[in-house]
């Protein structure tokens, strides 16, 4: 089934949204379908890597040959990723909720009948990509993040790469008219350093083709 350039490498991939509970019946989430992250996990496995996919709630089949860990919240996702360390490659395609509801209600929040509205307070979630990027001595040799932006995509993504400390960032536009969230296709601007040396623009293609392009780029990285 083809060459195995990543044989012997251990990889961890995050995918999908996280669900942050408000009460036992309601949650906060985002529009990620998991298609991009799952495609990356599948392609890494085809290239011979030992792959664990840590996935938020999605409606997708498990990729062939991949160890899948299902989680709900950002905090669960962080713990499951940390449990996979050390690894050689870590790729963060999940759309992790930046905030969770601070005091999650133990019972369903009821309408009061007098029109009073519930008030939600938020707490910041851990940043999984930043935590793993800055985790010496177990930091993976190659840490790849995504940047989901709706404007000034490349500029914001470059700043994000520096702030979080990952090696590469794959910038994609998630403005509503792009169909990136949940759709079949994606257009990527790869940022591999502080300046534009090493930048690559991958024209709009299927998320599976994006995954193949990324895995070929990773194989070249470890080959040189
Ligand atoms: O799932 P699909 O429908 O196929 O859509 C694919 C996608 C648009 C979700 C994917 O290509 C993508 O861009 N994933 C990252 C989404 C995101 O939340 O990006 P961000 O710019 O907010 O976060 C930057 C990076 O930090 C990401 O690698 C993210 O996984 C990571 N992060 C963010 C917050 C947090 N608390 N922990 C993290 O690890």
Strand partners, 99: 124
Segments of 6-82 assigned E as strands: 10-15, 20-23, 26-28, 50-55, 67-70
Q: Which of 80, 104, 94 is nearest to 27 (CA)?
A: 104
Distances in Å between the alpha carbon of 160 and those of 84, 107, 165? 24, 38, 8
| Any atom of ligand 1 within 6 Å of the Cβ of 36 | yes
Distance CA 92, CA 88 (A): 14
Q: Which of 198, 27, 218 is nearest to 140 (CA)?
A: 218
Per-residue pLDDT at 2: 83
Name all domains of the chain by residue range, CATH numbers in brackets: 10-101+122-223 (3.40.50.10300)
The answer to whether the annotation marks 103 as part of a ligand binding site is: no
| Any atom of ligand 1 within 6 Å of the Cβ of 73 | no
Catalytic member of 30, 125, 172, 173: 30
DSSP symbol at 202: E
For residue 216, what are its two tokens?
A: 């070929």
Per-residue pLDDT at 224: 76
125 is catalytic: no
Residue 111 near residue 28 (C-beta atoms within 8 A) = no
| Any atom of ligand 1 within 6 Å of the Cβ of 93 | yes
Q: 93 C-alpha vs ligand 1 centroid, how far in Å? A: 5
Ligand 1 atom nearest residue 128's Cα: 39
In tens digits, what is the pLDDT along the chain, a chain of 224 residues? 788 999 999 999 999 999 999 999 999 999 999 999 999 999 999 999 999 999 999 999 999 999 999 999 999 999 999 999 999 999 999 999 999 999 999 999 999 889 999 999 999 999 999 999 999 999 999 999 999 999 999 999 999 999 999 999 999 999 999 999 999 999 999 999 989 999 999 999 999 999 999 999 999 999 97
Ligand 1 atom nearest residue 183's Cα: 3
Q: 170 C-alpha vs ligand 1 centroid, how far in Å? A: 10
Q: pLDDT tens digits, residue range 69-116?
A: 999 999 999 999 999 999 999 999 999 999 999 999 999 999 988 999
Which positions ≥6 away from 206 have C-beta within 8 Å? Answer: 184, 185, 186
Check: complex ipTM more than 0.95: yes
The answer to whether the annotation marks 218 as part of a ligand binding site is: no
The answer to whether the annotation marks 4 as part of a ligand binding site is: no
Per-residue pLDDT at 20: 98
For residue 33, what are its two tokens?
A: 């379908």
Q: 132 C-alpha vs ligand 1 centroid, how far in Å? A: 14
């Amino acid at each position: 089934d083809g060459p195995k350039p990543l044989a012997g490498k251990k990889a961890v991939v995050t995918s999908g949204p996280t669900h942050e509970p408000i009460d036992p019946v309601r949650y906060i989430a985002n529009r990620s379908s998991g298609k991009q992250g799952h495609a990356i996990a599948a392609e890494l496995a085809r290239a011979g890597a030992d792959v664990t996919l840590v996935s938020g709630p999605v409606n997708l089949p498990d990729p062939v040959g991949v160890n899948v860990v299902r989680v709900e919240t950002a905090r669960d996702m962080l713990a499951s990723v940390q449990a996979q360390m050390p690894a050689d490659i870590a790729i963060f395609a999940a759309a992790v909720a930046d905030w969770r509801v601070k005091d999650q209600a133990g019972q369903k929040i009821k309408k009061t009948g007098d029109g009073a509205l519930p008030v939600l307070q938020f707490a910041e979630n851990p940043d999984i990509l930043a935590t793993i990027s800055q985790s010496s001595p177990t930091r993976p040799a190659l840490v790849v993040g995504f940047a989901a932006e709706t404007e000034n995509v490349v500029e914001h993504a470059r700043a994000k790469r520096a702030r979080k400390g990952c090696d590469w960032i794959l910038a994609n536009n998630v403005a509503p008219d792009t169909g990136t969230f949940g759709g079949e296709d994606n257009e990527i601007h790869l940022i591999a350093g502080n300046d534009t040396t090493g930048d690559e623009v991958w024209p709009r293609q299927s998320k599976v083709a994006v995954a193949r392009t990324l895995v070929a780029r990773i194989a070249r990285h470890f080959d040189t």
